[in-house]
Amino acid sequence: MKLARFIIDTHVHAQRHAAGPELKKRMEKRGKQVKYADLAEIMHTLDTYDNSARLLYDMECYGVDMCLLSSAFGMDDSLNLQLVEKYPDKFRALCYPCETKKKALKGEIEWTIEAACEELERKLSTGKYIGIGEGSPARVFPEGVKPYNYTRKERMDELRKVMDVARKYQVPITTHTGSPMGYPLSNTMWPENWEPRWIHDLATEYPDVTIIFEHGGQSGGTSALLFEECVEVAANHDNVYLEGGIYWTDLYYLALRNPNVGPEKIIWGTDWGASQPVITQIGNNPQSYVMQVHKEGIVKHQIDVMGWSLRQVGRLDISQDDLNLILGGNALRIFKIDFPLTRMFKFIDWL
Ligand SMILES: [Zn+2]
């Protein structure tokens, strides 16, 4: 049985990197197994290819009605847009300043937040994108430039510029949280990734802009440290949402138990298309969870995260109307996606 009336996976990558040949070269040169860190290092510059055949298979298999596509690493927004145009009932796209990032990585331009926001504006003004992501635009460091940390104030001022764009076009913005543990996510890229509480300021300054914590503080491992911070921020501000998807069942319950979060402020997004395996530890609580395990090397098959994630959500003993909000109704509302029938989802007039 399908789990909800209309299911939207809000965090999906429909592109894959052709990483095999480059990883093989590295392995031969080093004489030992390559790791997720190698993959992360090369993915920003690699070409990507359309992986929608596998995605459409999983959507059909698990009754997922729609996916919101976003770009990460070396992915390209234009490929996502082509899929939206080809399957208008199944896909929508978020935008990211991919071109600015690629040019800066090649050393052709210097990355600035102004250039990144200009690209976002160019894309949003077409009306073809419904949000900003994956994550907020982040600085890049071309080869030969040593990555450096910058201050909280510097980063917050960058984020404010992105918030200005989101406010102008009235679209939700995403902020990435947590790590699957294999890809090295340092403070030089998304400092806010490890500091969800910084978002208190942005949520207060921009009460009219929806902010989504991607992964809701849990994108790998079993620690609830960032998760708890994300719940606290979301509970304080009506405009801050949690993306579940990598949550195991008990984490949903913890977020649902907070009356200032509840089913109205959780959306479902699995990060489908990312190489993030679900591992099993019999007897552990949780017994299965997402984690890139260094010693096992890079996973080669298409990880079935939708199936695992829907089973975690499916165990929730809550009303079907609340489940309908988490799995699609909230996303329809905050991303302003049309639904053919009225009165199919609970009225949320306090947000
Ligand atoms: Zn992602």
Cα 169 to ligand 1 centre (Å): 23
Cα 31 to ligand 1 centre (Å): 30
| pTM, full prediction | 0.95
Query: Which two tokens mark 271?
Result: 């990060």
Distance CA(106)–CA(166), nearest Å, equals 28
Cα 241 to ligand 1 centre (Å): 16
* Residue whose C-alpha is closest to residue 104's, from 45, 155, 163: 45
Q: Once rounded to an integer, what is the mean pLDDT over residues 234-249?
A: 98
Grouping H, G, I as helix, E, B as strand and the rest as coil, residue 197 is helix
Cα 111 to ligand 1 centre (Å): 22
Cα 341 to ligand 1 centre (Å): 31
* Residue whose C-alpha is closest to residue 11's, from 55, 43, 61, 50: 55
Distance CA(282)–CA(210), nearest Å, equals 39
The residue length of the chain stands at 351
Cα 101 to ligand 1 centre (Å): 17
Cα 224 to ligand 1 centre (Å): 19
Cα 13 to ligand 1 centre (Å): 7
**Residue 338: Cβ-neighbour burial (10 angstroms; 0-12, 13-18, 19+):** exposed
Cα 74 to ligand 1 centre (Å): 12
Could you tell me which residues are beta bridge partners of residue 91? Answer: 67
Q: Which of the four pLDDT bands, split at 50, 70 and 90, describes residue 34?
A: confident
Cα 195 to ligand 1 centre (Å): 18
- Contact (Cβ atoms closer than 8 angstroms) between residue 178 and residue 224: no
Cα 323 to ligand 1 centre (Å): 23
Grouping H, G, I as helix, E, B as strand and the rest as coil, residue 267 is strand
pLDDT digits (tens, 9 = 90+) for 63-76: 999 999 999 988 99
- Contact (Cβ atoms closer than 8 angstroms) between residue 245 and residue 11: yes
Q: Once rounded to an integer, what is the mean pLDDT over residues 265-269?
A: 98
Cα 45 to ligand 1 centre (Å): 17
Cα 12 to ligand 1 centre (Å): 7
pLDDT digits (tens, 9 = 90+) for 143-156: 888 888 889 999 99
Cα 346 to ligand 1 centre (Å): 29
pLDDT digits (tens, 9 = 90+) for 168-196: 999 999 999 999 888 878 888 899 999 99
- Contact (Cβ atoms closer than 8 angstroms) between residue 17 and residue 43: yes
Cα 149 to ligand 1 centre (Å): 23
Cα 68 to ligand 1 centre (Å): 11
* Domain 8-334 -> CATH class: alpha beta
Percentage of the chain surpassing pLDDT 90? 79
E strand intervals along 159-297 = 173-176, 211-214, 240-244, 266-268, 278-280, 288-290
Preceding amide of 340 cis, omega within 30: no
pLDDT digits (tens, 9 = 90+) for 43-92: 777 888 999 999 999 999 999 999 999 999 889 999 999 999 999 999 99
Cα 51 to ligand 1 centre (Å): 14
- Contact (Cβ atoms closer than 8 angstroms) between residue 156 and residue 201: yes
Phi, psi at residue 174, to the nearest 5°? -110, 145
Distance CA(245)–CA(312), nearest Å, equals 9
The DSSP code for 147 is: P
Residue 223: per-residue pLDDT: 94
pLDDT digits (tens, 9 = 90+) for 295-310: 888 888 999 999 999 9
- Contact (Cβ atoms closer than 8 angstroms) between residue 170 and residue 134: no
Cα 342 to ligand 1 centre (Å): 31
